[in-house]
Structure 1
Amino acid sequence: MTEFELIERIFSTLQDEQPSAGIEKAIGDDAAVMSLPTGARLVSCIDTLVQGRHFSADWDEVNELAFQIGYKAVAVNVSDIAAMGATPHSILLALALPERLANEQWLSGFAKGLHHACQLFGVTLIGGDTTRNDTLVLSVNAQGLLAANTNAVYRSGAKAGDKVYVSGTLGDAAYALNHPDSETGQQLAHRLHMPTPRIQLGASLAKTDATSMIDISDGLYQDLSHICQQSGVTMRIDIEKLPTSQPLLQVDEAERLLCQLTGGDDYELAFTLPADVELPASQLTNTQITCIGEVAATDSALQEPRPRLLYNGQAVTKEHPAPFTTLPSFTGYQHFIG
C-alpha cells in the first residue's frame, strides 16, 4: 500500500469521534491546528523507540505484540507530560516502517494499541509522518496543557528537609525484561509492555506545593540523581522502603533491589514535597504513594549532588555494601552505551 493508503485505511479509521478539546484540524492536512484555553500553557515532549534497542529485534515476528508497541509508544510520552504536572492532550506520530511490516495485519494491531492508549489517557492523534526503514523506528511527540494558575513541577526545586516519594511499585518491568521465561517474569510482563503513566497524580501534585518531580524511566537512582543535580541537593534514600509488588517480593533481595534502583521502565513518578505538606488524597491519584527518604543539603561545594543509599539506617558503601555482596554500579539505562 502507498503512504496515503496506509494513513487512510489504518490510522484515519481509528480517530476519536470526540477529539480532545481545542483541536480545529487533525489528520488530513499539512499540519494540525489547535486553540488553547485562555491562560493555558503548552507542554511538549518526544520519545523515540528503536527496534533492537528499546524493544526486542524479533518483536515484529509476532503480530500480537504490535498492539503493545503501539500502546507503549503513547504511554511513555504521556508519562513525561504527567511528570510536569500537565494534562495530556494530543500526539503526533513519526513511523519508519520496514517493508515486511507494511501489511494490514501488523499495522492494524499497532494502530489499535496506539488508539487504545489514546482513549485511555485522553489524547488524540492529530498527525504525523511515515517512511520506510530497514528496522522499525517510531517517535511520538506529545502535547499537554497546564491550566491557568497551575504551576509546572520541575526537577530543580527540591530543598533540604523535603520528603522523597514514589508512586506504585518499582522494579517489576526490569525483572520481566531480564527474566522473560520465568514464572515471576511472566507475571510481571504487563508492567514492562503496558506501563501506566500516573496522570492523576501528576496533575494533583501540580496543585500542591510539590517542589520537584520526574518520571522513572531510566532507573530510580539515575532519575533521582537528575533531581539532585538540577536542585543542588543530596538525598538519603532508605532502600528497604522501596515499594515492591507481591511477585517481586519472592525474588532474592539483592537482585530485587538492583532492579528497583537501576532497572528503569517503571514509568512511576518520583517527587519531593515539604515535610508539612499533605499528600494528595489517594482516591484522586489512583495509585499508592510511598515515602522513601529525605532531601538533604550538600555538605560542601565539593560534595556531588546525588542520592545516598541507606539500608536499615547504614550507608551502602564499598566497605559496607549490604544487602549486596559487593557494591554494584547504580548507573541506570544509558541511551548511548551498549
Structure 2
Amino acid sequence: MNELEIINLISKNLTYKGNAIKSIGDDCAVFKINNTYLVITTDMMFKSTHFPDILTPFQIGGRLITANVSDIAAMCAKPLGIVVSIGISKEYANKKFIDELSKGLNFMAEKYKCPVVGGDTNKSNELTLCGTAFGLTDNPIYRRAEVGDDICITNDLGRVFCALKMIEMRDNGIINKNQFNKLMEKYPNIMKKLCEPEARVEEGILMNELVNSCCDISDGLAKDLFYIGGFEIYSEDLLKAVPEDVLEFCEEFNINPIEAVLNSGEEFELLFTTKKYLKVKEILKKTDTKVIKIGKVIEDGKYLDGNIFKFGGYIHRW
C-alpha cells in the first residue's frame, strides 16, 4: 500500500467530525471559535527517512518546527504554539544530542514566534520526532482553487532534490566521501536548503486576502499540484523557478532541471492560486520573496505543455 491509500481508508472510518469545519484533506484542521479560526496540524519524522546524516542535532530540531509551521503558513495563518513529542533511541539518549536538539527547536520556534509549550518523551527503537502546531486566522485558506486562477509559487525550487541526489550518489558509491565534501563546498545554498529550510509564514499572512487556495510544497510540486484540481503548467515558466546553482548542478550530473523542480520535496515554499497575481507579487516584495507564475487552473485535466501530467513527488510506500 501507499500512504494515499492508507489515508483514504482511514478517512472512510473517521466519520465523526464534531465541531471541525475542516478535517482530513488539507494542510490543517480548522475549528471556528467565535469570530476567528483555530488551525491545527501535525508532522512526524523518523531518523531513517527524514534526517540525512549530514544534519546536526540543532538542524534536526529546527526542521521539525519548520515542517509543522509551514502547514500553518499554508493556511495563511499566524502560528500560536507547538507541542513536540520525542521518541529517543539508545544511540541518541545522551546530554550533548538532547541539548543541541532542544536548542534547535527553540531557535526556530522563536524565529516563527511559535513557542514549544509542551509535549512528551518516550523510549524508541528509532529517533522519532512529532510536532503538533496550532495557529489563528480570520480567514483560513484552503486547497480550493478557482478556474481561471494563476498558479504561482514563492521563490524557487530544486535545491533539496539536488542535495539528496548528492547523498544518494555518495551512498551508492558513485562519488567518494572526498568528492561529496567538495560538492558540499561548491553548492552551499543547495545544502543549506536541505539542512535549514524556512517556512513562509510572513508571506502567507500578507497574501491571505489575495489568494483563493494555498498549500506548502512538502512532497514535491508533482504531487502537491494535484490538490489544485485541473491545471495547465508550462516548462518555460517552471525553468524560471530554477536557481542558478541548481541549473549548474543539473548540467554537471546530466539531470533534467524540470525533474528537479517537480520532484523536490520539503522545500516548504508556498504553492498558491490567485486572480490577483500582480498584487501578490507587489506585497511580497516586503519580504524579498519572489513570486513565479507557472500556469493556470482549468476546469478539467492536468497538463504540462499540453501533455497529460504524470503524478509524481514523494509518497511513502509499503
TM-score band, normalised by shorter chain: 0.7 to 0.9
How far, CA to CA, are the matches of 2:120 and 2:60 in structure 1?
17
How far, CA to CA, are the matches of 1:49 and 1:85 in structure 2?
23
Asked if 1:169 corresponds to 2:169, the answer is no
Q: CA deviation at 1:277?
A: 6.6
Q: Secondary structure of 1:249's partner?
A: helix
How far, CA to CA, are the matches of 1:270 and 1:106 in structure 2?
35
Instruction: Identify the structure with bigger relative contact order (alpha carbons < 8 Å, sequence gap 6+).
Output: 2
Q: Secondary structure of 1:141's partner?
A: strand
Q: Please name the residue that 1:72 is paired with.
A: 63
- Structure 2, unaligned stretches of length 5 or more? 1-31, 168-179
User: Which one-letter code corresponds to 2:49 in the other structure?
Assistant: R
Structure 1 residues 95 and 276: CA distance shift in structure 2, 3 A: closer
User: Which one-letter code corresponds to 2:232 in the other structure?
Assistant: R
How far, CA to CA, are the matches of 1:207 and 1:219 in structure 2?
25
Q: CA deviation at 1:284?
A: 3.2
Q: Deviations along 1:211-257, whole A, 9 cap, x unmatched? A: 111100001021011121xxxxx111112222121211212385321
Q: Secondary structure of 2:157's partner?
A: coil
Q: CA deviation at 1:287?
A: 1.1
Aligned residues of 1:204 and 1:285 also touching (Cα < 8 A)? no
Q: Secondary structure of 2:50's partner?
A: coil
Aligned residues of 1:176 and 1:186 also touching (Cα < 8 A)? no
How far, CA to CA, are the matches of 1:37 and 1:294 in structure 2?
34
- Structure 1, unaligned stretches of length 5 or more? 1-35, 229-233, 299-304, 318-326
How far, CA to CA, are the matches of 1:227 and 1:160 in structure 2?
10
Q: CA deviation at 1:276?
A: 7.2
Q: Please name the residue that 1:331 is paired with.
A: 312
Please identify the structure whose Cα radius of gyration is greater.
1
User: Which one-letter code corresponds to 1:173 in the other structure?
Assistant: V
Q: CA deviation at 1:195?
A: 0.7
User: Quick one: percent identity of the two aligned structures?
Assistant: 29
Q: Deviations along 1:121-157, whole A, 9 cap, x unmatched? A: 11111100000011101100001111xxx3111002x
User: Which one-letter code corresponds to 1:47 in the other structure?
Assistant: D
Question: Which residue of 39, 47, 54 corresponds with 1:51?
Answer: 47
Asked if 1:40 corresponds to 2:40, the answer is no
How far, CA to CA, are the matches of 1:177 and 1:224 in structure 2?
21
Asked if 1:154 corresponds to 2:142, the answer is yes
TM norm structure 1: 0.73
Q: Deviations along 1:37-74, whole A, 9 cap, x unmatched? A: 96332111000001111223xx3xx7x71011000000
How far, CA to CA, are the matches of 1:269 and 1:211 in structure 2?
13
Q: Please name the residue that 1:201 is paired with.
A: 203
Q: CA deviation at 1:177?
A: 1.0
Q: Please name the residue that 1:244 is paired with.
A: 242
Q: Please name the residue that 2:175 is paired with.
A: none
Q: Please name the residue that 1:263 is paired with.
A: 264
Aligned residues of 2:57 and 2:97 also touching (Cα < 8 A)? yes
Q: CA deviation at 1:282?
A: 2.7
Aligned residues of 2:37 and 2:140 also touching (Cα < 8 A)? no
How far, CA to CA, are the matches of 1:37 and 1:174 in structure 2?
40
Deviation above 6 Å: which 4+ runs of structure 1?
none
Higher helix share: 2
Structure 1 residues 257 and 105: CA distance shift in structure 2, 3 A: same
Asked if 1:278 corresponds to 2:304, the answer is no
Q: Deviations along 1:242-301, whole A, 9 cap, x unmatched? A: 212121121238532111101211110010001577215133344111111111112xxx
Question: Which residue of 74, 79, 99 corresponds with 1:83?
Answer: 74
User: Which one-letter code corresponds to 1:68 in the other structure?
Assistant: Q
Q: Please name the residue that 1:191 is paired with.
A: 193
Q: Please name the residue that 1:215 is paired with.
A: 216
User: Which one-letter code corresponds to 2:303 in the other structure?
Assistant: R
Aligned residues of 1:92 and 1:126 also touching (Cα < 8 A)? yes
CA-atom RMSD in angstroms: 2.2
Structure 1 residues 186 and 283: CA distance shift in structure 2, 3 A: closer
Q: Please name the residue that 2:93 is paired with.
A: 102
TM norm structure 2: 0.78
Q: CA deviation at 1:186?
A: 4.5
User: Which one-letter code corresponds to 1:248 in the other structure?
Assistant: V
